Amino acid sequence: MKCFCISCASCLSCKFSPALRYPRLVRYNLRMSENKPQAIIIGASQGIGAELAREFSARGYAVGLAARSGDRLEALRAELSGPAFVKVMDITRTDEAMAAFESLIEDMGGMHTAVINAGTGLPNRDLAWAPEKATIDLNVTGFAAMAGVAFRHFVGQGRGRLAGLSSVAALRGIPGNAAYPATKAFVSNYLECLRLNARQRKLPISVTDLRPGFVDTPLTKGQKGMFWLTPAPVAARHIADAIERGKSIAYIPPKWRLVATVLRHLPDSIYSKM
Ligand SMILES: NC(=O)c1ccc[n+]([C@@H]2O[C@H](COP(=O)([O-])OP(=O)(O)OC[C@H]3O[C@@H](n4cnc5c(N)ncnc54)[C@H](OP(=O)(O)O)[C@@H]3O)[C@@H](O)[C@H]2O)c1
């Protein structure tokens, strides 16, 4: 028997029962049921992530708040009336961030729900390398590292809810912003792989691919050409509902499914002229 820790890479192929593989995590799981469910939000210092922390806290969760800006996280923790835990991390520094995520789970006595929200992507028509790389590092490398920690944890305890922030933009290319839709397509496909992986294991782990339309946050401030701009607290309510219902794919708010359907079926000849 090789694997007794959360970070062992053989966890996902290990055939031993979760109780044998993760004795410490099973103990957490028992404690978890006695207390509030724990929701950890990676990228919680502003925008959708901060509103989601407020929403989960109002619904009775203990919340774990992670991002780079410790001062903003502390201000949010002070504002919440329920239990809240802070961990400063830069998820593009994957080794440190994975260790920090695991330590946040430990601080909170377990994890019931994980939302990988951190993401970026600003217009970059001339493909300057620095912003392209920053977007790929955060939305792909950082995202996969965090999703892996959460998924291994849920496999170990035999259940859980994992959600990631993709976008309606994942469905088609955008001429002036190649990295954003491409990396969000990665997020959606990655989450589908994890959902299938959990189903194959017959484990009740829900994996929710969240696809917002335009949401009013610091990321979209000043951007042109937006419509149906949703206030971040409204988006957070829809996101929390979708996660609690264990939905596989959720458009945020749901009316964006209409846009998604049109985008998916529009022939290239018409889409390329828009
Ligand atoms: N707003 C929209 O219209 C919209 C639409 C579709 C999808 N989305 C997606 O929804 C998510 C949230 O968007 P938002 O508009 O709320 O963005 P935002 O206001 O820019 O917030 C992004 C959050 O991610 C954190 N973050 C950024 N880089 C990080 C890093 N290296 N390590 C750890 N945390 C990091 C930020 O905190 P720090 O800066 O403190 O690290 C912040 O808390 C993103 O994935 C975005 O792509 C947004």
Beta bridge partners of 85: 64
Domain assignment present for residue 8? The answer is no
Q: Residue 244 is encoded by which pair of tokens?
A: 């609690």
Question: What's the 117 CA to ligand 1 centre distance in angstroms?
Answer: 6
Give the pLDDT confidence of 99-134 residue by residue, as tens digits: 999 999 999 999 999 999 999 999 999 999 999 999
Half-sphere exposure of 25 (CA within 13 A, CB side): 26
Domain extent for 160: 19-271
Domain assignment present for residue 1? The answer is no
Supply the CATH number for residue 157's domain: 3.40.50.720
Domain assignment present for residue 248? The answer is yes
Beta carbon of 6 within 6 Å of any ligand 1 atom: no
Give the pLDDT confidence of 16-74 residue by residue, as tens digits: 334 444 445 444 443 443 468 999 999 999 999 999 999 999 999 999 999 999 999 99
Considering only CA atoms, give the Rg of the chain.
18
Distance of alpha carbon 56 from alpha carbon 237, whole angstroms: 9
Structural domain total, the chain: 1
Question: What's the 42 CA to ligand 1 centre distance in angstroms?
Answer: 9
Beta carbon of 254 within 6 Å of any ligand 1 atom: no
Minimal-distance CA residue to ligand 1 atom 46: 119
Question: What's the 7 CA to ligand 1 centre distance in angstroms?
Answer: 26
> Residue 78 class from Cβ within 10 Å (0-12 exposed, 13-18 middle, 19+ buried)?
exposed
Beta carbon of 49 within 6 Å of any ligand 1 atom: yes
Domain assignment present for residue 4? The answer is no
**Given this model, what pLDDT does residue 274 score?**
83
Question: What's the 118 CA to ligand 1 centre distance in angstroms?
Answer: 4
Give the pLDDT confidence of 221-264 residue by residue, as tens digits: 988 889 999 999 999 999 999 999 999 999 999 999 999 999 99
Distance of alpha carbon 265 from alpha carbon 267, whole angstroms: 6
Domain assignment present for residue 95? The answer is yes
Whether the predicted pLDDT of 178 surpasses 70: yes
The preferred substitution site among 40, 41, 45 for testing ligand 1, maximizing ligand atoms within 8 Å of CB, is 45
Whether the predicted pLDDT of 265 surpasses 80: yes
**Given this model, what pLDDT does residue 27 score?**
47
Domain assignment present for residue 3? The answer is no
Q: Which amino acid is at 6?
A: I
Name the strands in the sheet holding 84-88, side by side, starting at the edge strand that comes first in the sequence: 84-88, 62-67, 38-42, 113-116, 160-165, 205-212, 249-252
